[in-house]
Amino acid sequence: MFPQHVIARKRDGHALTREEIDAFVRGATDGSWADYQLSALLMAIFWRGMTSQETLDYTEAMMRSGVVADLSAVPGIKVDKHSTGGVGDKVSLPLAAMVAACGVPVPMISGRGLGHSGGTLDKLESIPGFRTDLSLDAYRAQVAKIGCALIGQTKDLAPSDKKLYALRDVTATVECIPLICGSILSKKLAEGIDALVLDVKYGRGAFMKTQADARRLADALVKVGRAGGKRVRALITAVHEPLGRSVGNALEVAESLACLRGEGPADLMTVTNELGAHMLILGGVASDMTSARQQLQRSLSSGAAERKFREVIVAQGGDGRVIDEPGRLPQARLTFILTAPRAGFVADVDAMGVALAALRLGAGRAKAEDRIDPAVGVSALVKIGERVTAGAPLAVIHANDEAALAEVRVMLAAAICIGDQPGVVPALIAETIV
């Protein structure tokens, strides 16, 4: 089968056969298709789209391009969560511990991600000693033993996505629902899970800018995930201001630890509890949302979720003492308290403005090879709607570089707007697909 024939068929608007899709994905994995041929087909798919059957075939071909973890020997219904990502989204950390503490095994393979602050892996790696590069055997053994593992993508898991995502990134073909579905779900299906809860975020601090686009993506992910044999639910959640009060890797770990002590910010806990409740239902340990929420609450009040997180940290080589002594997390050399220029209400906290400030401090990556500074970022951020007095703290900036701190003072002051009226945020949980 010649690549140019497959490209021509998609260019002309035909649905590709399973064999054609297999050839394309094989070509990406073994290098038998040139980058320009892969890119041409990606662009044709971008314009012509894919049917549901093509999207499923593409997802399964991507999944089969590498190993598929077999967790069938681990008792229980294995449930993971995937978020499309948003500013301040550290939900995976408290969520995995809470859900595992309620008896649902959580095998979680996460990415690093480009952007304002690191992905889940970067956050976890800010815990001294924490290793995310476990082998699939060690991952399987840990899920069997303690009910939770939080690891990074191994090179043999859906390797075709690594190639195709890199090409999409440089050929303006990222924003394409069938391609996003294949990319996300091939990795999730290869984890060995039985069920998946998706958090599809929208808003100025998220990948999808509008609720309608987020719904289109969520619908497609749910449909393909179910066709792939998994139980899938999805939430559509808003990211208007940062989720929680911290952005930056170690700072987000510290905030996650506060969640496990029952002291998490309200918006972060709302999203965590809602996702967790659906995970408990899919995992078969709760019959309805009310009892699921009660179980999650008990996992916090009894200390079980905190103990579970400590177990995971220690199992993965990390310093479990950070739970009681968050001061053991990396600390920045410089801190600066940004204060309110006048009394009033917090009218706006622009998630993207805060994200760019965190990126300037070194909390995220502009390019895949950039190094992250785990200690820097922003904490104690005010939330939209809060009342402030003149001179009251709006946020704390954590920096390791004087020049960056000076710039970020200006950037952050521009991102936080104090007005006469409290700002309004859209509903955090916008929609649920069950």
Indicate the residue among 89 and 348 with the shorter CB distance to ligand URA: 89
Q: Applying CB under 6 A, does 379 fall inside the site for ligand URA?
A: no
Among 62, 150, 177, 184, binds ligand URA (CB under 6 A): 184
Indicate the residue among 183 and 249 with the shorter CB distance to ligand URA: 183
**156 is a catalytic site residue:** no
Longest distance between any two alpha carbons in the chain, whole Å: 70
Contact 332, 400 (CB under 8 A): yes
Query: Is the dihedral angle over the CA atoms 206, 242, 133, 76 positive or is it negative?
Result: negative
Least separation in angstroms between residue 411's CB and ligand URA is: 26
Indicate the residue among 221 and 332 with the shorter CB distance to ligand URA: 221
Indicate the residue among 111 and 147 with the shorter CB distance to ligand URA: 111
Residues 57 and 51: their CA atoms lie apart, in Å, by: 10
By CB under 6 A, which span of 51-59, 177-185, 272-280, 330-338 interacts with ligand URA?
A: 177-185
* Residue facing ligand URA at closest CB distance: 183
Residues 315 and 25: their CA atoms lie apart, in Å, by: 36
Strand order in the sheet with 344-349: 387-388, 344-349, 416-419
Least separation in angstroms between residue 174's CB and ligand URA is: 6
State the catalytic residue, choosing from 81, 163, 187, 230: 187
Least separation in angstroms between residue 171's CB and ligand URA is: 13
Indicate the residue among 174 and 429 with the shorter CB distance to ligand URA: 174
CA dist 163 → 182, 259, 261, 292 (Å): 13, 37, 41, 40
CA 339 to chain centre: 31
Q: Applying CB under 6 A, does 142 fall inside the site for ligand URA?
A: no
Amino acid identity, position 122 = D
Least separation in angstroms between residue 6's CB and ligand URA is: 21
Least separation in angstroms between residue 111's CB and ligand URA is: 6
- Beta carbons within 8 Å of 337's beta carbon, 6+ residues apart: 393, 395, 396, 397
Least separation in angstroms between residue 310's CB and ligand URA is: 29
Among 29, 183, 186, 273, binds ligand URA (CB under 6 A): 183
Copy the structure tokens of residue 350: 């622009």
Q: What does the chain come to in residues?
A: 434
**398 is a catalytic site residue:** no
**204 is a catalytic site residue:** no
**35 is a catalytic site residue:** no
By CB under 6 A, which span of 180-188, 349-357, 388-396, 422-430 interacts with ligand URA?
A: 180-188
Among 180, 300, 358, 408, binds ligand URA (CB under 6 A): 180
State the catalytic residue, choosing from 65, 160, 183, 379: 183
Indicate the residue among 366 and 427 with the shorter CB distance to ligand URA: 366
Residues that contact ligand URA, how many (by CB under 6 A):
5
- Helix-strand-coil split of the chain, %, nearest 5: 45, 15, 35
Indicate the residue among 56 and 97 with the shorter CB distance to ligand URA: 56
CA atoms within 13 A of residue 265's CA, in its CB half-sphere: 23
In the beta sheet, which residues pair with residue 393?
339
Give the DSSP letter string of 140-166.
Answer: HHHHHHHSEEEEEPPTTSSHHHHHHHH
Indicate the residue among 27 and 178 with the shorter CB distance to ligand URA: 178
Residue with tokens 């390797």: 159
Q: Applying CB under 6 A, does 206 fall inside the site for ligand URA?
A: no
State the catalytic residue, choosing from 64, 81, 168, 398: 168
Residue with tokens 């809470």: 98
State the catalytic residue, choosing from 10, 64, 81, 82: 82
- Beta carbons within 8 Å of 164's beta carbon, 6+ residues apart: 25, 28, 38, 42, 62, 179, 183
Helix (H, G, I), strand (E, B) or coil at 174: coil
Contact 221, 184 (CB under 8 A): yes
**183 is a catalytic site residue:** yes
By CB under 6 A, which span of 176-184, 256-264, 309-317, 411-419 interacts with ligand URA?
A: 176-184
Residues at the contact surface with ligand URA, assessed by CB under 6 A: 165, 174, 180, 183-184
Catalytic residues: 82, 161, 168, 183, 187
